């Protein structure tokens, strides 16, 4: 099943039943602003880890798809905006086999994604292992983005 969650940060409580670490994840996210330094931030050991990155968005064809096996993602754009492709893993061509140390497998972009999600400040998206996704796609042209991804361990 492929079912992304997309909602406003101030509405996170509706999704609290999704995972027992969501209260800690969203409490941490509420403390952040665009001045936070890039890097990894352990929130609850290896079970809940934040990562902050600055990058430039790029055209759809230049961005690989990815999926995870051990962790789900909560993705939040603090500054800028981006599109994120989302769809099924079925039919995607692996370009980089699964890397257990990074919990990621990379794929060639499909000709047409099932959907494109627009992430702007104040919104969050949750991706689970069945959710292939493609972060960092430009909206109208390349721009700089500050993004937080909180990884929550599943199982």
pLDDT, tens digit (0-9, with 9 covering 90-100), for 73-98: 999 999 999 999 999 888 899 999 99
Residue 54, classed as helix, strand or coil, is strand
pLDDT of residue 113: 84
CB atoms near residue 49 (< 10 Å): 18
CA distances in angstroms from 71 to 12, 36, 100, listed in the order given: 19, 23, 11
Does residue 1 register a pLDDT over 80?
Answer: no
Query: At 24, which helix (H) or strand (E)?
Result: helix 22-30
Mean pLDDT of 39-43: 98
pLDDT of residue 91: 85
pLDDT per position as a tens digit, 61-76: 999 999 999 999 999 9
Q: Return the bridge partners of 48, or none.
A: 44, 152
Confidence of residue 2 (pLDDT cuts 50, 70, 90): low
pLDDT of residue 51: 98
Domains of the chain: 5-153 (2.60.120.370)
């Amino acid at each position: 099943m492929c079912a992304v969650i997309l909602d406003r940060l101030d509405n996170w409580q509706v999704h609290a039943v999704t995972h027992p670490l969501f209260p800690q994840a969203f409490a941490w996210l509420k403390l952040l602003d665009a001045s936070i330094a890039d890097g990894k931030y352990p929130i609850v050991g290896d079970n809940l880890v934040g990562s902050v990155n600055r990058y430039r968005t790029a055209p759809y064809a230049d961005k690989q798809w990815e999926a995870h096996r051990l962790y789900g993602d909560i993705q939040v754009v603090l500054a800028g905006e981006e599109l994120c492709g989302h769809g099924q893993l079925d039919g995607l061509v692996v370009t980089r086999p699964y890397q257990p140390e990074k919990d990621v497998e990379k794929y060639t972009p499909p000709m047409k994604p099932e959907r494109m999600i627009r992430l702007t400040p104040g919104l969050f998206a949750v991706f689970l292992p069945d959710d292939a996704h493609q972060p960092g796609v430009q909206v109208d042209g390349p721009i700089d983005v500050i993004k937080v991804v909180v990884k929550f361990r599943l199982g």
